[in-house]
Amino acid sequence: MPGCFVHHCIVSPRRKPKHRSSSDSESILTILQVLDELLSAGTDRRIHYMISKGGSEALLQTLVDLARTESPDYGILLPLFRLLAKVGLRDKKFGQKALELEALDVTLILARKNLSHSQNLLHCLWALRVFASSVTTGAMLGVNGAMELLFKVITPYTQTCTRTIRVATEVLAALLKSKSNSRRAVNRGYVSGLLRLYQDWHCHDTVHAYMQIRRALLLCLKHIAALRSGREAFLAAQGMEILFSTTQNCLDNKTMEPVTSLVLQILRQCYPKCLLPLVTASSAYAFPVPGVIVSEPSCVLTEEDFEDDDEGEVDKDSDSEDLKEEDNDLETDVNKLSSKPGLDRPEDELKQYEAMCLELSCSFEELESRFGDDLNFEEIECANHYYIPTAAASPKHHGLNKDQSPWGLEREDIVQASILSMVKIERSTVHLASKKRPAMKADQNVDSNGLRIDSSGNGIPDVQASMKEDTWDIDAVSCLRMSASFSNSTRPKEIAKVTEKLLQTHPKDIPFHNPYLYMANARRSRSVADFKMMAFPDLWGHHPPSSAQPMLERKCGVQRIKIFEDVRRLIQPNDVINKVVFSLDEPWPLQDTASNCLRFFSKFESGNLRKAIQVREFEYDLLLNADVSGTQNQQWFYFKVSGMRAAIPYRFNIINCEKPNSQFNYGMQPVMYSVKEALLGRPTWIRTGYEICYYKNHYRQSAAAAGGASGKGCYTLTFAVTFPHSEDACYLAYHYPYTYTALMTHLDILEKSINPKQVYFRQEVLCKTLGGNPCPLVTITAMPESNSDDHLEQFRQRPYQVITARVHPGESNASWVMKGALEFLVSSDPAARLLRENFIFKIIPMLNPDGVINGNHRCSLRGEDLNRQWLFPRAHLQPTIYHAKGLLYYLSSKGRSPTVFCDFHGHSQKKNVFLYGCSIKETLCQAESTVDASTLSEDVSYRSLPKILDKLAPAFTMGSCSFLVEKSRASTARVVVWREMGVSRSYTMESSYCGCNQGPYQGLQFGTSELEEMGAMFCLGLLMLELRSISCSHQLLTRAAVLLNTEEEALDHHLHRCSSSNSSITTELEDEPPCMEEIDYNTDSSSDPEGGCFELDQQIQEYAFNMDNGKEEEENLGWERKAIP
């Protein structure tokens, strides 16, 4: 209704513009007043309605008509401008309409005429401001000289007419969003003018009364800096120095906040881009692999390496596009979703896998004779630890050198409690523990590094007493040679002696670990760089802390401080050292041991650090090595640092990270292992570091290195560490390391720990990798009860479960989950026994041994992501995938496809543990496909395992699970096993690198215990799944009932509580809660600080208010102060 009214009222007088009488003017004025009142009341709906009825056009036309009269009537024009601004703000097409109706020109003319009449000028500027919100219209205003006009209004610095200056600056900022306008501004030399002006305002505005003017000036500079020529002009005009010096003392001043954050954006934008300080982007380790021609990417920085200025003038009002992008990746081709492709290889090739499934063919007698034989192991000096540690509880310490018989009864006695009882114990105690966290923090005396976690006596007293730390040459023991005979050192015997002495002192309380065996296995692991050293933590072992560590609280403003520190290198270079102290690319040693800088080392299994540069006395830039045969995937790090001083905060910046965001921004800490702490009885990887943040830096990868994509940006992970001891050797890593040698050692120990009369445990080689390392395949089940036909038949008929892990080498969390699963499966826990008796487990615990050994983050030695190779793997290129798939094909050909297939992974962006599965219906539904999903039949059983795990495992959450099939994932294990083998329960299990934001572990980072527990819980979940299935045998049900009954009450209660409390959360868990500090890890910040309708509305309202109250314009007062009622 109001719209029709407007239209009628305003448009009617227009018919005879030439003969407008004074009564016409009065009626227009009345109409404007009525309209203003109508539109001021109620919501924006009225305005939008009016716009839809052509209200904007009518107002603009009225403006043009009025302005074109010989002596325009400002009595009407001013209220008309106010109304225009109000409506224009809500009309996305307003700029366009103004352009078409020629309202731009008349407004500019009016503005020029009124340069000395601030009130009239102010009104014209309001109109210009809404016109300029469209970039195309803004460009047109620029062509017509709007910028010169505005520049005249705002310069030189004056404190009269601040209201006008403010709007003029804001209009200028809006105009500069247009690239052509920015270019014009650069050519006219406005950049230095704006900088001086900003400086003047900064100096004079000591009480911060004119923040909006200062902010608008910065916005002008920010828009200009989007152009390369703009950045050059900015640097030439000392822009970096000026903005840096105006801000460096106000970083934590809350009032200055709007200004500081903009300054920061501009400084980051203008910081000269440069290439990473590396001789080549290719990995420092070269491996000649079949089918890859290694071409050296050029390292000359070219123009293309930097993002080019976009010529187009684009309005950014299409906002909903991004949301759909994810859905576009969904597979909507029903054929692809539901058809089962044929074999990817000749059928007779499958025969070779018969030998890997002896359980299907061999008879019990053969089995018995096989296991009756001696196990024939080379280095049996180990395995003192025959009890099975449950992942749920920290293992109790055992005395040293206890000479137990390997398969004695003691072992069974130790673990009486079923893991089922752990479920409830864990749930309840952890719950309490997490509630008590502040107290825990206090008595641990946790410094900012989180050290001293174990000081409560978890150490081993006798070892501690007998060991004086200074008897050890830390440098000698912190990284040991695998074999003295290989040594080119002049003192091989002494080294051998040190090793011997060290291992004799080794606290043998670490379950399933043995340094001798580790050392023997390490010699067999083949690395590209031919590593000769072993990292101390891998050799000595890791004992998890008694409780999980809380996430790091992010200090507000930490990122800002770090970025200013970075900018300071450019502006105050006097304390910058810039000395390379470690580099894989230089064959000679880079530092004399006498110098007091830190020493770095990474040439050991899973190690990754390519270069270290001392930037300032206690600050180092670090560069990671790209995956072998590649130029990318820098994320995983693992290196040794020594020569430190205690109690000094060292800052480390890893400057060539690749992912655009990281859990390091949300409470995650890297891990550290101190050799001195280990020798003192605390051999523990702990979360460490503070002042952690992750942000985009000024380095670029060369276009060639980034695979043609021009100037891919790099990210910095920065953290500070205060080391616990002076002259220590510490290891720092992205996540708890777990090497290939650690796996092989673990498997050997597991094999020796089982009772072969009960547990069928077979370790064999699936295939050799490109690097020549055996990829292990493990089979676990129970020995047949007897050799009666019935029992043998039951043995052969057990369904399969297939679990794989660590296809991505940087995801060491997956290995810890796998470790937990393996230990649980061979344990004497009654539930584990039931699992063995009812299933055959085929486990490939490390699908990418080469990647793990060589410190890769994601790829194989060919530089390929192996989890994108499942569709067409080739035996000579991706052997582990080829044979893993072959094994699955073989099982499928025997009609023995696994009940569940699961591939363990680590997730760097999300918290908790969760599953990805495959569902046709959910995919089609999510993609809003036109295919009628209801006509498709689909077994919904893929949801039951995650539902069970949600109730069972503290770290697991159903809320993050997804069952969509993405096109980009068509070649992953999960999708291929689902489609080609028809396994409906085919999953990827993702474990966060960080920790949990729900459940009993909420707010805690994962330690290895929590990850191992997850592995055990996964297996337990498989048992629960079976108990729920229709095919579940009566016998299993009865036996499980006996087992479960003992725990029933507590468990039931618990499960019930979980399911009821989870039902609401399950729908959608917010991935990250809002952070105290807005995390701007990117220079191209998406948040638009330029203010919307509200601010301009407010200005106009305040103006009107003052007019009504008959106040003179108090030009010398800031808006802010006036706004306070």
| Region 449-478 residues binding Zn ion, contact defined as CB under 5 A | none
CB closer to Zn ion out of 682 and 868: 868
CB of 771 to Zn ion, least distance (A): 20
Give helix then strand counts, H and E, for the chain.
44, 21
Other Cβ atoms less than 10 A from the Cβ of 223: the count is 23
Other Cβ atoms less than 10 A from the Cβ of 708: the count is 10
The mark string for 754-793 relative to Zn ion (x by CB under 5 A, - otherwise) is: ----------------------------------------
CB closer to Zn ion out of 1071 and 1114: 1071
Cα–Cα distance measured from residue 93 to residue 18, given in angstroms and rounded to the nearest whole number: 29
The mark string for 1057-1076 relative to Zn ion (x by CB under 5 A, - otherwise) is: --------------------
CB of 811 to Zn ion, least distance (A): 5
Q: Which stretch binds Zn ion (CB under 5 A): 216-224, 402-410, 733-741, 810-818?
A: 810-818
Cα–Cα distance measured from residue 944 to residue 131, given in angstroms and rounded to the nearest whole number: 57
CB closer to Zn ion out of 179 and 974: 974
CB of 910 to Zn ion, least distance (A): 12
Residue count of the chain, please give it: 1125
> What kind and span of H or E run contains 638?
strand 638-642
Under 8 Å between Cβ of 1015 and 821: yes
User: Could you identify the residue written with the tokens 């992953």?
Assistant: 972
CB closer to Zn ion out of 628 and 866: 866
CB of 82 to Zn ion, least distance (A): 58
**Closest of 292, 1080, 149 to residue 694, by C-alpha:** 1080
Q: Which stretch binds Zn ion (CB under 5 A): 361-369, 407-415, 447-455, 800-808?
A: 800-808
CB of 879 to Zn ion, least distance (A): 19
Q: Three-state DSSP class for 1117?
A: coil
CB closer to Zn ion out of 261 and 992: 992
CB closer to Zn ion out of 67 and 743: 743
CB closer to Zn ion out of 811 and 1013: 811
Q: Which stretch binds Zn ion (CB under 5 A): 110-118, 126-134, 433-441, 903-911?
A: 903-911
Q: Three-state DSSP class for 674?
A: strand
Q: Three-state DSSP class for 699?
A: strand
Under 8 Å between Cβ of 105 and 128: no
Q: Which stretch binds Zn ion (CB under 5 A): 61-69, 231-239, 807-815, 963-971?
A: 807-815
Catalytic residue (choose from 359, 811, 837, 990): 990
CB closer to Zn ion out of 499 and 972: 972
Does residue 910 bind Zn ion (CB under 5 A)?
no
Cα–Cα distance measured from residue 14 to residue 2, given in angstroms and rounded to the nearest whole number: 19
CB of 808 to Zn ion, least distance (A): 4
User: Could you identify the residue written with the tokens 């946790």?
Assistant: 446
Does residue 808 bind Zn ion (CB under 5 A)?
yes
Q: And the tokens for 136?
A: 């195309």
CB of 743 to Zn ion, least distance (A): 17
CB closer to Zn ion out of 107 and 878: 878
Residue 990 known to be catalytic: yes
Q: Which stretch binds Zn ion (CB under 5 A): 649-657, 900-908, 909-917, 970-978?
A: 900-908
Q: Three-state DSSP class for 975?
A: helix
Does residue 905 bind Zn ion (CB under 5 A)?
yes
Q: What is the DSSP string of 188-239?
A: TTHHHHHHHHHHHHHHH-TT---HHHHHHHHHHHHHHTTSHHHHHHHHHTTH
Cα–Cα distance measured from residue 628 to residue 858, given in angstroms and rounded to the nearest whole number: 10
CB closer to Zn ion out of 839 and 978: 978
CB closer to Zn ion out of 57 and 811: 811
CB of 775 to Zn ion, least distance (A): 17
Q: Is 1049 exposed, middle or buried (0-12, 13-18, 19+ CB in 10 A)?
A: exposed
Nearby residues of 248 by Cβ (< 8 Å), 6 or more positions away: 564
Total chain residues near Zn ion (CB under 5 A):
3
User: Could you identify the residue written with the tokens 């009865």?
Assistant: 1038
The type of residue at 980 is E
Cα–Cα distance measured from residue 756 to residue 7, given in angstroms and rounded to the nearest whole number: 92
CB of 905 to Zn ion, least distance (A): 3
Q: Backbone phi, then psi, for 935, in 5-degree steps?
A: -80, -15
**Closest of 156, 262, 816, 217 to residue 512, by C-alpha:** 816
Q: Which stretch binds Zn ion (CB under 5 A): 255-263, 520-528, 536-544, 803-811?
A: 803-811
CB of 740 to Zn ion, least distance (A): 17
Cα–Cα distance measured from residue 631 to residue 317, given in angstroms and rounded to the nearest whole number: 37
For 815-882, the three-class secondary structure string (H helix, E strand, C coil) is HHHHHHHHHHHCCCCHHHHHHHHHCEEEEECCCCHHHHHCCCCCCCCCCCCHHHCCCCCCCCCCHHHH
CB closer to Zn ion out of 690 and 987: 987
CB of 459 to Zn ion, least distance (A): 35
CB closer to Zn ion out of 675 and 847: 847
Q: Which stretch binds Zn ion (CB under 5 A): 16-24, 802-810, 996-1004, 1048-1056?
A: 802-810
CB of 990 to Zn ion, least distance (A): 7
Q: Which stretch binds Zn ion (CB under 5 A): 477-485, 527-535, 720-728, 811-819?
A: 811-819
Under 8 Å between Cβ of 87 and 39: yes
Q: What is the DSSP string of 1057-1068?
A: HHHHHHHHHHT-
Nearby residues of 1010 by Cβ (< 8 Å), 6 or more positions away: 391, 548, 954, 955, 995, 1001, 1004
CB of 741 to Zn ion, least distance (A): 21
Cα distances (Å, whole numbers) of residue 59 to 14, 98, 1121: 11, 10, 33
Question: What own/partner pairs with CB < 8 Å and gap ≥ 24 does 226-231 have?
Answer: 226/179, 226/182, 226/269, 226/309, 227/179, 227/182, 227/183, 227/186, 227/309, 228/306, 228/308, 228/309, 229/183, 229/186, 229/309, 230/182, 230/185, 230/186, 230/191, 231/269, 231/270
Q: Which stretch binds Zn ion (CB under 5 A): 161-169, 243-251, 486-494, 804-812?
A: 804-812
Active site (catalytic) residues? 990
Provide the binding-site residues for Zn ion, judged by CB under 5 A.
808, 811, 905
